[in-house]
Structure 1
Amino acid sequence: MVTTGEVSAVSKSTHTIARRAVSRAEIIAGVSPKRNKFGAKRVKVDGIWFDSKGEAARYSELKLEERAGDVRNIKTQVAIPLIAFSMYAVGGEEVGHYKADYTYERRNSRGDWFPVVEDFKGEPTAAKETYRFKRRMFRANYGFDITETKRSRRR
């Protein structure tokens, strides 16, 4: 006769095996088993892991723009130093960094190239105080804003 404790142990064992099989299938399909705290799934595109499908889709859009000649020098996950300046000291001190999803150069209407730092944001992340502080520090250090892109809603 099987007791309740043994049944739950068998159920847990079966669940673990099924979960492992899904993880292997995800890895074969190019989806990482690691989960984001907001429920986003990591995706691999062109050998690069992205934190969400939306971020990967934005990278694909940028690659199309690069082929069209509108952008160049696309880089992903670039750590940009944030410098704090003091009125009592000469120069500044690096107090942290901002990790941009993408950096690239975009051509303006005159044909000149200018730098773009872009971040793909979901609603919960954009509202965080840490992100808002780093965004202000970035503007103070580099003189331009971070371009924020969000996933387009499908209707």
Structure 2
Amino acid sequence: MAGNAASRQGRAQAPQVQTTPGRPDAVHVAKYGNKKTTTADGVKFDSRAEARRWEYLCVQLRIGEISDLRRQVAYELVPSVKFADANRAKPAIRYIADFVYVEKGVDVIEDVKGVLTPEFKLKRHLMKALLGLEVRLTK
């Protein structure tokens, strides 16, 4: 171990970008490379892919292919609970869909993902298992 520590001391370190929340000069790099985007109609999104999908769905809405287009719709998967040894209750576990709309008379729940995270996979599974709702994945 001492040999490893000594060899690390002599090695040049690559410069790292450090961020401080709330500081205007801080550089923020998104974990999965997404870039916050605002569409021409002023709607803000967490990624360019999500913004592009919104614009596409808006066209589909205008030409009548879909109806009742909504975004950021929350579904409660597990209710809030309070543990005996805790001061406060733990919040409910929710899945928030990027888009929800009706297509050919069928409700569609859709999520735009570049990276399938373990959390998304679990929540998608719970949506189907607990609520019987399928989440359509788009990239």
Whichever structure has more helix as a proportion of its residues is 1
For 1:60 and 1:34, how far apart are their aligned partners in 2? 26
Higher relative contact order (CA 8 A, sep 6+): 2
Structure-2 residue corresponding to 1:116: 108
Match of 2:101 among 76, 101, 104: 104
Whichever structure has more strand as a proportion of its residues is 1
Q: Is the 8 A contact 1:73 1:104 kept in 2?
A: yes
Q: Give aligned pairs, total.
A: 104
Distance 1:54 1:118, change over 3 A: same
TM-score, normalising length: structure 1: 0.59
Q: Is the 8 A contact 1:34 1:41 kept in 2?
A: no
Give the C-alpha shift of residue 48 in structure 1.
Answer: 1.5
Structure 1: tracts of 5 or more residues without a match: 1-18, 21-32, 85-93, 108-112, 151-155
For 1:106 and 1:61, how far apart are their aligned partners in 2? 14
Structure 2: tracts of 5 or more residues without a match: 1-23, 80-90
Give the alignment's Cα RMSD to 1 decimal: 2.4
Q: Percent identity?
A: 32
Distance 1:34 1:101, change over 3 A: farther
Structure-2 residue corresponding to 1:137: 126
